[in-house]
Amino acid sequence: MAEATANGLGQHTLDSARTHDATATSVTPTEVHQEHPIKLYLVVWAWLFILSTCSYLVDYFGLHGYLRWSLILIFMILKAGLIVAIFMHMAWERLALTYAIILPPVLVLVFVTLMVFEADYTLLTRMAFFGAGP
């Protein structure tokens, strides 16, 4: 009976097996609870405030061109990294999960490249047919 259900590998059977039998924990790797000191969260919180202020100041001081765009991207990536790594605990997960989740969105950049070419082409066509703007 027990074999039949445990072979299904359902989470429910895993859970019940673990509570029934202490040796099961040595067989299955235990699910890790993410417990970290509160201070870490407060430090990250403060950094997110600092980085947000910085990116707001980019607009407030009216920076332009590549300086503006690169600063916006740097602050954005730093903030996103802090949220995913610390708040969402990705820094402590096993690499198998990290790569399964982080890698696919990075591949969206291929799509971005395609659409940059496509949009440039659309703009050129519009200018050729309608002139350089109203």
Partner 1 sequence: MAETTLTHIGRTGPRPAGWQGIAADWSSDQRAFKNVSWGKAMMWIFLLSDTFIFGCFLLSYMTDRISTRVPWPNPSEVFALRIGGSDIPLILIAIMTFVLISSSGTMAMAVNFGYRRDRRKTAVLLLLTAALGATFVGMQAFEWTKLITEGVRPWGNPWGAAQFGASFFMITGFHGTHVSIGVIFLIIVARKVWRGDYDVGRPGFFTSRRGRYENVEIMGLYWHFVDLVWVFIFAFFYLW
Residue 16 Cβ vs partner 1, minimum distance, rounded to whole Å: 9
CA proximity to 31, closest of 93, 75, 76: 93
| Helices marked H in 8-94 | 11-20, 24-27, 38-60, 65-82
Distance of closest approach, residue 11 Cβ to partner 1, in angstroms: 5
Residue 128: what residue type? A
Closest distance to partner 1 from the beta carbon of 8 (Å): 10
Provide, rounded to whole angstroms, the least separation between the CB of residue 17 and partner 1. 5
Question: What angle, rounded to 10 degrees, do the helices at 38-60 and 65-82 form?
Answer: 160
Burial tier of 90 (Cβ tally within 10 Å: 0-12, 13-18, 19+): middle
CA–CA dist 117, 124 (Å, integer)? 11
